[in-house]
């Protein structure tokens, strides 16, 4: 192989390596961006039972002619050593009326832990009508060892909820957020 072929071969290899490195960087960035993009997509479409948190919004007058039952459910990831449950199993509400319920959580370990709750609403088509004003979900909840807490959820059901839907289920699942917090902070998971 002459010198020119050797130089072209090296340039070709360098180009392939550069492209492969660029693909890795883009894939890594996409991995970090997918969660917020998914949340925005689900908030806009109401897919997967996601519901948007309402910062401040004019709430219509309550529809006193109608009652909707809201069921509250709590789950936890099997690896999360916490107690987690709603303080009330269900509530009858008038669409448009602002309500507050609380969920009880306790870290059963002696050491601090970080948890994160992910909500969902069933039926899925009703998710866009259940509006959260205040919620503990999607923010890290740091609990000291043995700490207990009652965490509020303020919400209302939009009066535009279709008339054929009279029961909604608001479910939260708590996960151990420490591995994710470690990755975001640049520490090895579990450190």
pLDDT tens, position by position, 41-55: 555 544 444 445 554
Average pLDDT, the chain: 80
- The sign one gets for the Cα dihedral 35, 125, 127, 124 is negative
- Is the whole model's pTM more than 0.75, yes or no? no
More confident residue, 12 or 139: 139
The answer on pLDDT for 21 being more than 90 is no
Q: How many CA atoms lie within 13 A of 189 on its CB side?
A: 4
Q: What is d(CA 41, CA 55) in angstroms, rounded to the nearest whole number?
A: 18
pLDDT at 94 (0 to 100) = 96
pLDDT tens, position by position, 111-140: 999 999 999 999 999 999 999 999 998 788
CB 51 within 8 A of CB 153: no
Alpha carbon separation from 38 to 41, 113, 138, 142, 183 (Å, rounded): 5, 26, 13, 24, 19
């Amino acid at each position: 192989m002459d010198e020119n072929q050797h130089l072209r071969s090296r340039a070709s290899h360098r180009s392939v390596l550069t492209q492969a490195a660029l693909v890795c960087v883009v894939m890594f960035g996409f991995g970090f961006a997918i969660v917020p993009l998914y949340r925005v997509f689900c908030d806009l479409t109401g897919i997967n039972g996601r519901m948007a948190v309402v910062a401040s919004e004019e709430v219509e007058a309550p529809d006193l002619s109608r009652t909707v039952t809201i069921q509250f459910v709590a789950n936890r990831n099997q690896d999360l050593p916490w107690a987690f449950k709603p303080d009330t199993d269900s509530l009858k509400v008038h669409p448009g009326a602002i309500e507050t319920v609380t969920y009880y959580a306790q870290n059963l370990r002696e050491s601090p832990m970080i948890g994160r709750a992910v909500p969902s609403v069933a039926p899925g088509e009703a998710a866009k009508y259940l509006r959260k004003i205040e919620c503990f979900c999607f923010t890290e909840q740091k609990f000291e060892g043995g700490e207990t807490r009652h965490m509020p959820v303020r919400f209302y059901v939009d009066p535009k909820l279709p008339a054929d839907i009279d029961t909604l289920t608001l479910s939260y699942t708590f996960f151990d957020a420490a591995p994710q917090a470690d990755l975001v902070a640049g520490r090895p998971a579990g450190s």
